[in-house]
Amino acid sequence: MRTCANKGSTMEELSNLKKLESNARTYAATFQQLFVSGKGMRVKDANGQEYLDCLSNAGTLALGHNPPIVRDAVIEFLNSDHLQQALDLATPAKHAFVEELFATLPASMRDNSKILFCGPSGSDAVEAAIKLARHYTQRSPLMSFHGGYHGMTAGALSAMGNLNPKAGLLA
C-alpha cells in the first residue's frame, strides 16, 4: 500500500474517513480539508491552500514539517540497516541517545536519575505520569483541565472532560 500515491476526490476521501474512523478522534473531525504536504510551519491541502500549522502535531513538530536536518538524519539512519523500532531492547542507537542525554544533565540530576521510555505516544507518557503521581502521593484522584487533551487510553480518558470519546469506539 502506497498511501502517498493514492488519488481521489477530496470530498470522497473525507467522506470515507468519516465513515471509517471512530469517534475517538476529536479536533481533527472539525477540519474539512485533506492535508497533503507540509514544509516548515505550513501545511497545504489538496486544493493548494496553505495554512499555518498551529497544531504542530501536538507539539512534536517543534522544528516544523520535513526539516532538512531531521530528514537527512532519518534517511541516513534508515540506510544504515540499524533497527528502526526495538521497543525497550538495547541497541547502539538507544545507548548513544541515553549517553548523550545524561551528558547534558547537571551532575546532581545525572547521578540520581533513571530514564523511562514510555512508548511512541503522548498517551503513554500521560499514563506513566498518572502512575508516578499516584505512586508518590499514594492518592488516586486526578486534577486536569476541562477541555484539555490527554490521550485516548483509559487513564488519559479519565482525566478528559470531553464525553464524546468516552462513548465507545464504534459509536
pTM score? 0.58
Residue where a domain terminates, one of 12, 47, 71: 71
Do 106 and 60 fall within a single domain?
A: no
Distance CA 84, CA 17 (A): 29
Do 53 and 112 fall within a single domain?
A: no
- Does a structural domain hold residue 80? no
Do 66 and 130 fall within a single domain?
A: no
Domain count, the chain: 2
- Over residues 51-79, the pLDDT tens digits come to 999 888 877 788 999 999 999 999 999 99
Cell numbers for 11, please give them: 470530498
Distance CA 113, CA 105 (A): 10
Distance CA 27, CA 162 (A): 11
Do 65 and 101 fall within a single domain?
A: no
- Does a structural domain hold residue 94? yes
Residues of the domain holding 64: 3-71
Lowest mean pLDDT among 20-24, 123-127, 138-142: 20-24
Distance CA 77, CA 126 (A): 29
Residue 170: partners with Cβ closer than 8 Å, 6 or more residues away: 22
Do 108 and 151 fall within a single domain?
A: yes
CATH classification at residue 30:
3.90.1150.10
Do 64 and 95 fall within a single domain?
A: no
Got the DSSP string for 43-81? Answer: EEETTS-EEE-SSHHHHT-TT-BS-HHHHHHHHHHHHTT
Residue 123: partners with Cβ closer than 8 Å, 6 or more residues away: 150, 151, 152, 153, 156
Residue where a domain terminates, one of 20, 47, 71: 71
pLDDT at residue 13 is higher than 90:
no
Do 59 and 112 fall within a single domain?
A: no
Do 61 and 90 fall within a single domain?
A: no
pLDDT at residue 139 is higher than 70:
yes
H runs (alpha helix) in the chain: 10-20, 56-59, 68-79, 92-104, 107-110, 122-137, 154-158
Residue-level pLDDT at 155: 80
Residue where a domain terminates, one of 71, 103, 126: 71
Do 64 and 134 fall within a single domain?
A: no
pLDDT at residue 34 is higher than 70:
yes
Distance CA 120, CA 154 (A): 16
